Structure 1
Amino acid sequence: MQTRTTNHENIRQEPKLASNTIIALWEELYNKKQQSWLTILSGSMKPLLQIGDKVLVRSVKSAEIRIGDIIVFKTPDKLIVHRVIRRYNSSSFLQKGDCLTTAEIVSSEHVIGKVIAIRKGSKIIYLNDGIWKFINLILTFFSCSVYYLKPENAVLKRITRFLFNKAKALLRRSRGFLLRL
């Protein structure tokens, strides 16, 4: 029995196989229930979603996805949680992480579902309830602004970045208060 491999190509592929297996298991559970919790593994959606937060993903038709919705979609080797900043038609969306400056088109056939709630520790936040609906709207505005402002609008871009950073700081300071709501 060989316990160690010296083929570096095989070593690099093992994590990919493991992540594909985990994704397949999660998708099986998701397909049975039409919704499931998913753990956030990157910081691309900061400040709203932090690494380790969990999101409740619900199956929806692509026609129900709106600008500002947070979606989960599948790439060949991972699941990505990003915000929709534009609808092209019923078959594709422009999506980006809130703290990223770039965006990409995703086909509706790759969209798995829409985030309807966030679990931060023991607290569950429903994105369509009360103040969280407003916070999500503000974050959508800033996310879109960062993407759509052209480099030649440097002053506007700096103002938007400044306001986005202020919103992040406010969200960080008020997190305890807002989680009690």
Structure 2
Amino acid sequence: MTAPNPSRTWFKPAAIGAVVLALAGIGYASFTASSAAPDVTFISITGDKISTQSMRGKVVMVNFWATSCVTCVKEMPQMVETYEKYKGQGLEFVAVAMQYDRPDYVLNFTETRKLPFIVAIDAAGDIARQFGDVTLTPTTFLIDKNGKIIKRYVGEPEFPVLHKLIEKELAG
């Protein structure tokens, strides 16, 4: 049996560390870099068609959620408060129910909680795919007046920080 080469014992952890750091950097960049929001048309639970193109000139939040998602249900009252606070200043809000969510559950949730914003169902999963293959809920995008994604939140956002960002974008 040969003794391990001491010059190679650090190689694997160092290589793994470098890969992890590189992937973290890419992940961070993809969450923070502003890119154009996809040109999609949401179909609301009332049958209305709303496109991202038609919302240009407004700050837009797109929230991917599901009735079975505990964090989504928990954050929804704060999403409602955020919308109510800023809608008069030009904030639009679209809550997109995931493909696997039952439409009757989404409708019941929307009605019982009196959600005041657009609620759409992504029946085929196309909208989630166009927003970068959203699979985790909640995932929320903040889009500026020019249609650029300026922030992506995976999980519940820190609402005071989100509000400051919304205020900055609405003022700009």
Coarse TM-score class (shorter-chain normalised): under 0.3
Q: TM-score, normalised by structure 1?
A: 0.26
Q: TM-score, normalised by structure 2?
A: 0.27
Larger radius of gyration: 2
* Structure having the larger proportion of residues in strand: 1
Highest relative contact order (Cα 8 Å, sep 6+), 1 or 2?
2
